[in-house]
């Protein structure tokens, strides 16, 4: 009976249930109009950030003092050379905003993946072994959660030159505890099920049980909701740039562009407004997708 649970037909649904639920979540979310709209907008923004600078043939760092504070095309005095205007140094605002979007998406995506992997690993280990291992890892998690993100960022980025790697490191360190706590609680429930006990009795190692039995069952639903954290990490990246501890000039980021433009709000409001609107549009598209995925997950897992 034990062998039938661990290696027979009953084991197949247990081992593949997580991936099956993941496919069902994606299929159910695709039916929602807001998911498709968000995906279309996000895909357009990603393509624009990747191809826009080369297609338009403009540089984000080239200064043209003669055209400084040029307004967007929809205002009087605007030209097609600089569709969304220029900043205080005559740099094209569209190109700078697109490169800032590319940097924000890259940092937000990589940091979310990093904190998902780190937090899920710690949560799996703590929830599976329990007792002393769980106690130690959860106290470390609690201590990390007690440190505000801004304080952590100032501490790390203040003693080293801010660059994408160090910013990603800060965001991963700040975000992994949430995943660790969620995965731990689900793992503690999952480890009591028959297929896990059967695999242990048959001699499967703890690492094999965690990676091949438990992880595929619990991580796909959590991974989908992690999409919402991409938007949150993009906001933090913009905040770091705004207060001066993000990626340093001349590399454009949303935070640095908006911070520079605050000095000219009365006469050149587009310097802050246009990158802010682009960031808001990207965040809205991600949140639309994440919200649809979360609703689909809750619908499928309700009562389980």
Q: Which residue has the higher pLDDT, 2 or 160?
A: 160
Does 116 have pLDDT greater than 50?
yes
* φ and ψ of 163, to 5 deg: -150, 170
The DSSP string of the chain is: -HHHHHHSTTHHHHHHHHHHHHHHHHHHHHTSHHHHHHHHHHHHHHHHHHHHHHHHT--SS---GGGTTPPPTTSTT-BTTBTT-B-TT--BHHHHHHHHHHHHHHHHHHHHHHHHHHHHHHHHHHHHH-HHHHHHHHHHHHHHHTS-HHHHHHHHHTTS---HHHHHHHHHHHHHHHHHHHHHHHHHHHTTSHHHHHHHHTT--HHHIIIIIIHHHHHHHHHHHTHHHHHHHHHHHHHHHHTT-SSPTTS--HHHHHHHHGGGTTT-THHHHHHHHHHHHHHHHHHHHHHHHHHHHHHHHTT-
pLDDT surpasses 90 at 222: no
Averaged pLDDT for residues 249-254: 89
**55-64, 218-227, 235-244 — which is least confidently predicted?**
55-64
Residue 4's pLDDT band (cuts 50, 70, 90): very low
Comparison of pLDDT for 210 and 140, the residue scoring more: 140
Percent of the chain with pLDDT over 90: 46
| CATH class of residue range 2-301 | mainly alpha
pLDDT at 5 over 70: no
pLDDT at 230: 94
- The answer on pLDDT for 274 being more than 90 is yes
Token pair 């501490």 is found at 155
Q: Would the pTM count as exceeding 0.95?
A: no
Of residues 62 and 4, more confidence is placed in 62
Provide the percentage of residues in the chain whose pLDDT is more than 70: 93
Q: What is the pLDDT of residue 43?
A: 96
Give mean pLDDT, residues 167-175: 94
Q: What is the DSSP string of 175-214?
A: HHHHHHHHHHHHHHHHTTSHHHHHHHHTT--HHHIIIIII
Look over the chain and give the mean of its residue pLDDT values, rounded to a whole number.
86
pLDDT of amino acid 201: 81
Over the stretch 8-64, which tens digit does the pLDDT of each residue have? 333 334 445 555 777 888 888 899 999 999 999 999 999 999 988 887 777 777 888
125-139, 216-230, 278-292: least confident range: 216-230
Q: What is the pLDDT of residue 19?
A: 56
Predicted confidence (pLDDT) at residue 2 exceeds the cutoff of 50: no
Q: What is the pLDDT of residues 71-113, one digit of tens each?
A: 999 888 888 888 999 988 889 999 999 999 999 999 999 999 9
* pLDDT of 108: 95
């Amino acid at each position: 009976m034990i062998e039938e649970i661990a290696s027979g037909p009953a084991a197949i649904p247990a081992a593949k249930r997580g991936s099956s639920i993941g496919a069902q979540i994606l299929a159910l979310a695709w039916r929602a109009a807001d998911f498709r709209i968000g995906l279309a907008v996000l895909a357009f923004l990603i393509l624009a950030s990747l191809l826009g600078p080369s297609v338009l043939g403009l540089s984000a760092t080239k200064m043209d003092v003669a055209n400084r504070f040029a307004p967007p095309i929809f205002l009087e005095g605007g030209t097609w050379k600089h569709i969304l205007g220029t900043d205080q140094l005559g740099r094209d605002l569209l190109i700078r905003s697109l490169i800032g979007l590319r940097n924000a998406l890259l940092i937000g995506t990589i940091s979310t993946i990093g904190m998902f992997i780190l937090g899920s690993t710690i949560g799996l280990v703590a929830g599976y072994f329990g007792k002393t291992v769980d106690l130690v890892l959860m106290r470390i998690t609690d201590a990390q959660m007690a440190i505000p993100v801004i304080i952590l960022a100032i501490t790390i980025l203040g003693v080293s030159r801010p660059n994408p790697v160090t910013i990603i490191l800060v965001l991963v360190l700040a975000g992994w505890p949430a995943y660790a706590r969620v995965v731990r609680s689900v793992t503690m429930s999952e480890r009591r099920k028959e297929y896990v006990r059967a695999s242990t009795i048959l001699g499967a190692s703890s690492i094999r049980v965690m990676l091949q039995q438990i992880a595929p069952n619990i991580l796909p639903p959590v991974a989908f909701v992690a999409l919402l954290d991409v938007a949150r990490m993009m906001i933090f990246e913009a905040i770091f740039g705004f207060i001066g501890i993000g990626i340093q000039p001349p590399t454009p980021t949303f935070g640095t562009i908006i911070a520079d433009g605050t000095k000219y709000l009365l006469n050149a409001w587009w310097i802050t407004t246009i990158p802010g609107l682009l960031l808001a549009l990207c965040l809205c598209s991600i949140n639309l997708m994440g919200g649809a995925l979360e609703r689909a997950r809750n619908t499928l897992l309700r009562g389980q």
